[in-house]
Amino acid sequence: MDLGLADKVAIVTGASRGIGHAIALRLAQEGMHVALVARSREPLEALRREIDALGREAVALPVDLRDPAAPAHVVATTAGALGRLDLLVNNAGATKRGDFLALTDDDWADGYALKLFGAVRMTRAAWPLLQATGGSVISIAGNGGRTGDREFTIGGSVNAALGLLTKALADRGIAEGVRVNAINPGIVETDRFRTRLQRLVAETGVSEAAAYDTMRAAHRVARFGRPEEVADLVAVMASGRIAYLQGAVVDLDGGETRTL
């Protein structure tokens, strides 16, 4: 299926690994040119070379989006290097899990600084260019924003805020020609997932397969997700195939979220 994304330009934050890496690569496979944003230069450069081999242009931008000046720099550099902007994927941001009473103000500030305020500033900086192309914003939030978890108070509240931000910006985007949507992944098999799995193995002494089944049963799903599945959904949502999609927050979590 031709998604009509060839020669369009995307910014993907958190692109150095996991879901962000998969999204950037998938968009390049669809013919997009991609600005790659994360804090670590080496994995971004490796991904840039991989995208170059596909015949697409890519630019690696190793910045920390917790810096209030970084988003404007990213957008300006992208426009200068790639000529336009059609899609912003807000994917950057990991938040600390743990006992609510043990989480510090610094833990909370750090969680919000990157995932929420990074997305706010990136979207604000990108908006005029997206208006010019009739482009879109897709934020990768998480299903923890739909269902409370005692060990995920920071991440859950950040994800909930991203969901509401999506709805509010979509309302603006109707009049200004920008589509704004979000995805709530469940647990996805990334490096962070494997770290959690190994921690469970160490704590319980069971095999990795048994630990996986324990986690899967606790979340009441048949399996966990793959980064490529999130990437495929981003590509379709960014395309004109479903341009009526506006203000949607799509659960991609294997059925874990059971509320309306």
Amino acid at 165: L
pTM: 0.96
Pairing mode, if any, of strands 33-38 and 9-13? parallel
Q: Do 157 and 119 meet the contact criterion of CB atoms below 8 Å apart?
A: no
Beta carbons within 8 Å of 53's beta carbon, 6+ residues apart: none
Query: What does the alpha-carbon distance between residue 179 and residue 137 come to, in Å, rounded to a whole number?
Result: 6
For domain 9-188+226-252, the question of CATH label 3.40.50.720 is answered with: yes
Each domain of the chain, given as residue ranges in start order, spans: 9-188+226-252, 189-224
Interior CA angle at 107 toward 181 and 95, to 5°? 35
Q: Compute CA 222 distance to the chain's CA centroid, rounded to the nearest angstrom.
A: 23
Strands, E, within the chain: which ranges? 9-13, 33-38, 58-62, 87-90, 136-140, 179-185, 249-252
pLDDT of residue 207: 93
Beta carbons within 8 Å of 213's beta carbon, 6+ residues apart: none
**What is the chain's pLDDT, residue by residue, as a tens digit (260 residues)?**
799 999 999 999 999 999 999 999 999 999 999 999 999 999 999 999 999 999 999 999 999 999 999 999 999 999 999 999 999 999 999 899 999 999 999 999 999 999 999 999 999 999 999 999 999 999 999 999 999 999 999 999 999 999 999 999 999 999 999 999 999 999 999 998 999 899 988 989 999 999 899 999 999 999 999 999 999 999 999 999 999 999 999 999 999 999 98
Q: Do 176 and 130 meet the contact criterion of CB atoms below 8 Å apart?
A: no
